[in-house]
Amino acid sequence: MTDILEMRPEGIFCPAGGFFVDPMRRVAKAVVTHGHADHLRRGMGELIATPETIAIADVRIGRGGYGVAAPLPYGERRRMGDATIWLAPAGHCLGSAQVVIEAEGKRAVITGDCKRDADPSCTPFDVVPCDLFVTEATFGAPVWRFPPPETQIARLMKSLRLFPDRTHIIHAYSLGKAQRLIAELRLAGWSEPMYVHRALAGICEVYQKAGIKLGILPAVEKGGASLGGAIILAPPNGADDAWRERVKDPVIVTASGWNQGGKRAGGAELPLVMSDHSDWDALTETILETGAKEVWIDHGPPAALAHWCAGHGIAARGVTR
C-alpha cells in the first residue's frame, strides 16, 4: 500500500503522481487541503487546491506566495502522472478538501483537517470509501467528545440576552471559526452588524464572494463611540487591538474544542466548546465508514487512535512530522 503514498521530510508524497500533499517545505507540486498555516506554506511551484482555498491563499500568503495556481473544484478528476486525484469536501472551513488519490487500483484519502458537525459556512464532509485513510487526530483521545454546536450557539445567544449592555468580544481563528460563528449567529437571528478585526476582514470577503452570507461586517477601529452591546470578532492573539479602549467590561468569548471540561478556559467568560476538528466519536466513526484497512494518523497525538484501530483490526501508525 505504501506505493500510493510515502512519508518524506517535506510531507506526504505520492510517487505515482509526483506531488506532495500539504508539504511543509518548498516543492514543485503541492496539493493543499485548506488554507490554515500548518497546511498551506509559501513557495510552492504549483498550488493545486479548490478555487476557494486558492482565493484564501491569495489573501493569506499573497499571489507571490506561490508559482501558479491550479484550481480543482470538488469532484473534478485530474490525471497527475500515473495517478488520478480529486478533491472531496472536508467540512473544516471554506474550501477545505480531502485529497482522493487513485493509482494501481487502490484509493487513498487524505483528510487534511475535517469535521462532521453541521457548519453553515462550508460544504459538509463526504465519506469516501478507501483503502488507505490518512486522518487528522487533533482531538485523538476519547475525552474529546463535543456537545452539539447548536447548544453552544444557544449559550452565546443566552449571554447576549443576559448582558445586552456589554460588548461581546469573540476571539476566534481568522479563517474558519470566525466565519462559522458569524454564520451561526446570523442563522440564530442576530441581524445587527458585527464588528470584525481587520485581520478577519479579507477572509470574510472571500466567504461572502463564495456565497456564504455573513451580513454587514464593519471593521472595528480605534476611536469613536462606545461599542456597548455590540459583537466584535477578533483573532485570539490580541495583536493590534487599540480599539479595545472603546470597550468597557466586555464578555470575552472563545470557541474551541480545548474548552471541553472548563479547566482550560483561561480568562474567557464564555468558553464555548466548539471545534472545527472532528472529535473522538467523529474520528472513529469516519474511519469505520471509509472501510479503510490501513490508517495513517497525522496532525495530533496518534497513540490513542492507533490503539483503537488495533482493537478494530485496522493497521494504523502515526505519521506526524
> Does residue 168 belong to the site contacting another protein (CB under 8 A)?
no
> Does residue 67 belong to the site contacting another protein (CB under 8 A)?
no
> Does residue 106 belong to the site contacting another protein (CB under 8 A)?
no
Q: Which residues contact 43 (CB under 8 A, 6 or more apart)?
A: 26, 65, 66
Which x/- pattern, by CB under 8 A, does the window 234-253 give for another protein?
---------------x----
> Does residue 141 belong to the site contacting another protein (CB under 8 A)?
yes
CB closer to another protein out of 254 and 286: 254
> Does residue 265 belong to the site contacting another protein (CB under 8 A)?
yes
Q: Among 113, 134, 116, 133, which Cα is nearest to 125's?
A: 116
Cell of 182: 458569524
Beta strands in the chain (DSSP E): 6-8, 11-14, 19-21, 29-31, 44-49, 66-71, 78-80, 83-89, 97-103, 106-110, 132-136, 168-171, 195-196, 231-234, 251-255, 270-272, 294-298, 315-318
One-letter identity of residue 272: L
Restricting to residues 270-299, name those near another protein by CB under 8 A.
270-271
Cell of 236: 485570539
> Does residue 163 belong to the site contacting another protein (CB under 8 A)?
yes
CB closer to another protein out of 8 and 145: 145
CB closer to another protein out of 139 and 296: 139
> Does residue 123 belong to the site contacting another protein (CB under 8 A)?
no
Burial of 148 by CB count in 10 Å (0-12 exposed, 13-18 middle, 19+ buried)? exposed
Confirm if 40 and 32 have CB atoms less than 8 A apart: yes
> Does residue 311 belong to the site contacting another protein (CB under 8 A)?
yes
Query: Minimum distance between the CB of residue 141 and another protein, rounded to whole angstroms?
Result: 5
Restricting to residues 25-64, name those near another protein by CB under 8 A.
none
Chain-centroid distance of CA 184 in Å reads 16
Residue 28 β-bridge partners: none
In whole angstroms, give the CA distance from residue 21 to residue 44: 11
- The piece of 4-12, 94-102, 158-166, 183-191 that touches another protein (CB under 8 A) is 158-166
Report the residue from 63, 79, 263, 313 that binds another protein according to the rule CB under 8 A: 263
Q: Among 233, 321, 286, 259, which Cα is nearest to 127's?
A: 286
Query: Minimum distance between the CB of residue 142 and another protein, rounded to whole angstroms?
Result: 5
Query: Minimum distance between the CB of residue 127 and another protein, rounded to whole angstroms?
Result: 23
Which parts of this chain interact with another protein (CB under 8 A)?
141-145, 147, 155, 158, 162-163, 249, 260-263, 265, 268-271, 301, 303-304, 307-308, 311
